[in-house]
Amino acid sequence: DFEDELKKTMGAKYAVATTSGTCSLLASLAALGIGAGDEVIVPGYTFIASISTIMLSGAIPVLAEIDESLTIDVTKIEELITPRTKAIMPVHMLGNPCKLDKIMEIAKKHNLYVIEDCCQAVGASYQGKRCGTHGDIGAFSLNIFKTISTGDGGAVITNDENLFKQLNCFLHNVQMAIGKRIKRTGV
C-alpha cells in the first residue's frame, strides 16, 4: 500500500520501499549498473551516504562545488565529466531542489544517468514536478529526522520498468544474502 501511495503522490510509475535512504541510494546505483571504475558526480556538501554508497558500489565519487542554494553548482558539472563518468547524483538539500532542467540537459548531452538524491527533500517539487521524477531514478529517506517520516526506511521511484525490475532483483539478492548469513551465523 505504501509503494502504491508513494508512486501516486510522486507521479512515478514505480516505487520500491527500502530499509533506509542509504539502501535507496545503493540500490539505485546497482540498478543502473554503476560499479568498479565508473565515476559519479556528486556535490561535496551532502550527507555521507551520498558519497559512501558510490564508493560501496566500487565507483568513484567526483566532488562538485555547490552554489548559493546549497545544491550542486550546475555551471561546474561539465568540467568534471570524463570518459569514465556514468552518472550525476544531484542532492536536493534541506528541501531545496537542484536546477534539474540544466542537470537533465547536461546528462542528455553526455549520455549520463541522473540519480536524484531526495533523502533531504521528500515532497519537494521543481517546476511543478516532484523531485525524484526528473532523473532516471529518485532515492528517498524516511527516517525520523526527515520532513516526512515513517520512523525509518526509504524508497526508490522510477518511471523505467527495467530499472524497477533491476531494483527488485538487487533488493531480493540482498535479502537472500542476509538470510543466509543469519542462518549460518545466528546473527
Catalytic residue among 7, 86, 99, 146: 146
Cell numbers found for residue 171:
533488493
How many residues make up the chain in this entry? 187
Q: Which three cell numbers stand for residue 10?
A: 510522486
Residue 90 cell numbers, joined: 544531484
Contacts of 152 (CB under 8 A, 6+ apart): 19, 20, 142, 143, 144
Active site residue 146: yes
Sheet strands side by side (includes 137-141): 14-18, 154-158, 137-141, 113-117, 85-88, 39-43, 60-64
- Give the CA distances from residue 39 to residues 29, 43, 59, in Å, rounded to whole numbers and listed in that order: 11, 13, 6
Just list the catalytic residues.
Answer: 146
